[in-house]
Amino acid sequence: MSDDAPESLIPYDEIVQDALRAVVGRVLGEVEQSGGLPGEHHFYITFNTRFAGVSIPKHLSERFPDEMTIVIQHRFWDLKVEDEGFTVGLSFGGVPATLRVPFAAVTQFHDPAVEFALTFQANAAEASPEEHEVAENDAPENDDGEKREDGSNVVSVDFTRKK
Amino acid sequence: MSDDAPESLIPYDEIVQDALRAVVGRVLGEVEQSGGLPGEHHFYITFNTRFAGVSIPKHLSERFPDEMTIVIQHRFWDLKVEDEGFTVGLSFGGVPATLRVPFAAVTQFHDPAVEFALTFQANAAEASPEEHEVAENDAPENDDGEKREDGSNVVSVDFTRKK
């Protein structure tokens, strides 16, 4: 066994990422079932807006042509979790909208309350989407926003090959 | 948000570990379906021998009262993967045996061919099982054994709370 790991014939990257996407569904499913967020928990969910199956209003897809981040915290409604994705009602600038997001489109999940984060590569997404602002669907003023890099509970799935 | 992360009301540790256990099932399932290991891939699987649902011969449970590691490489047969665990035929010192291992009993999964490893805490297991030798079910002489700590593709799920 040399230090140059051979190309894997088993797609571990993909298998692990697929498995971890189930975390997003399970966490949202528990919120759906219990009817609310426990304690101070809240979620920043970033997804690829061009991914097949994503359904968002046109003004959002125009503003966020690559990725957008939504906040599940103060005002959200009709959260429904299915096998392949979730739908949720959110308000953007006072305008209500229903968003449908397949789990396969999710690139980041972040719960600032306990600094838990998951980072994915969106399936079939381009490698480096540009930086984007959070969609500001009613995040409070004093929220400390995106602190993923400081988190103690960050799971980043990145099995970079050595060659 | 202080540096002292509060106790999580969402059991992320458990949810992530449960999700990652699906990786073991999916990888073994692909081996079952294709009828063999691809390329140089092979697996060291460590499990808690006292976990409910584990079924191994008495001489093995006596020799490995806490944990044992099996090798899925040269000689194995009747690999069957189910929703909750797997069964496999292995030879120990020339004596064939059928082992049944629930995925929830697995504490480590390691593929030395690409240095991919997953480490779990067994559900309801004691915190620190003692060191144990590999069960030597026909691992070849020149195998370099357990190199988990050197791996480049190690996923260790350990969300230690800050307080």
Q: How far is CA A52 from CA A48, A76, A100, in A?
A: 9, 23, 11
Tokens 């189910």 label which residue? B82
Tokens 């010192």 label which residue? B93
Residue A134 vs residue B38, higher pLDDT: B38
The pLDDT of residue A147 is 36
The pLDDT of residue A18 is 86
State the number of CA atoms in the 13 A half-sphere of A99 facing the CB.
33
B81 pLDDT tier (thresholds 50, 70, 90) = very high
Q: Show residues of chain A in contact with B113, CB under 8 Å.
A: 1, 5-6, 8
Q: Show residues of chain A in contact with B26, CB under 8 Å.
A: 15, 18-19
Mark the ranges of chain A whose per-residue pLDDT is less than 50.
1-2, 124-128, 140-163
Q: d(Cα B35, Cα B33) in Å, to the nearest integer?
A: 5
Residue A61 vs residue B137, higher pLDDT: A61
Q: Cβ contact (<8 Å) for A114 and B8?
A: yes
pTM of the model: 0.70
Return the structure tokens found at B3: 């540096």
Q: Cβ contact (<8 Å) for B162 and A152?
A: yes
Which chain A residue is nearest to residue B14, measuring alpha carbons?
A: A23
Smallest CA–CA distance, residue A76 to chain B, in Å, is: 19
Q: Cβ contact (<8 Å) for A12 and B23?
A: yes
Mean pLDDT within B29-33: 95
Q: d(Cα B132, Cα B63) in Å, to the nearest integer?
A: 9
Helices A12-34 and B12-34, packing angle to 10 deg: 140
Q: Residue B114: which of A8, A116, A155 has the nearest Cβ? A: A8
Q: Cβ contact (<8 Å) for A38 and B9?
A: yes
The pLDDT of residue A131 is 63
Which chain A residue is nearest to residue B159, measuring alpha carbons?
A: A153
Return the structure tokens found at A113: 């309350």
The edge-to-edge listing of strands for the beta sheet with B95-102 is B77-81, B85-92, B95-102
Give B101-118 pLDDT, tens digit per residue. Answer: 999 999 999 999 999 999
Q: How far is CA B140 from CA B94, B143, B151, in A?
A: 14, 6, 20
Interface test with B, best of A15, A21, A157 (most B CBs within 10 A): A15
Q: d(Cα B87, Cα B68) in Å, to the nearest integer?
A: 15
Q: d(Cα A93, Cα A136) in Å, to the nearest integer?
A: 8
Report DSSP letters for B9-49, one per residue.
Answer: SS-HHHHHHHHHHHHHHHHHHHHHHHTS--TT--EEEEEET
Tokens 């995040």 label which residue? A139
* pLDDT at residue B134 greater than cutoff 90: no
CB crowding B129-139: b at 16 or more within 10 Å, else e: beeeebbebbb
Alpha helices by DSSP H, listed for chain B, are: 12-34, 58-63
Q: Which residues contact B11 (CB under 8 A, 6 or more apart)?
A: none
Give A127-156 pLDDT, tens digit per residue. Answer: 445 566 676 676 544 444 443 333 334 444
Q: d(Cα A77, Cα A101) in Å, to the nearest integer?
A: 15
The pLDDT of residue B136 is 65
A31 DSSP assignment? H
The pLDDT of residue B60 is 93
Interface of B with A (CB under 8 A): 1, 5-6, 8-10, 12, 15-16, 18-20, 22-23, 26-27, 30, 38-41, 111-116, 144, 147, 152-153, 155, 157, 159-160, 162
Rg of chain B over CA atoms, in angstroms?
A: 16
Interface test with A, best of B3, B9, B12, B103 (most A CBs within 10 A): B12
* pLDDT at residue B68 greater than cutoff 90: yes
The pLDDT of residue B121 is 77
Q: Show residues of chain A in contact with B116, CB under 8 Å.
A: 8, 10, 12, 159
Give ipTM to 2 decimals: 0.75
Residue B64 vs residue B143, higher pLDDT: B64
B150 pLDDT tier (thresholds 50, 70, 90) = very low
Mean pLDDT within B10-20: 90
Which chain B residue is nearest to residue A109, measuring alpha carbons?
A: B12
Q: Cβ contact (<8 Å) for A20 and B15?
A: no
The pLDDT of residue B139 is 53
What are residue A106's DSSP bridge partners? Answer: A47
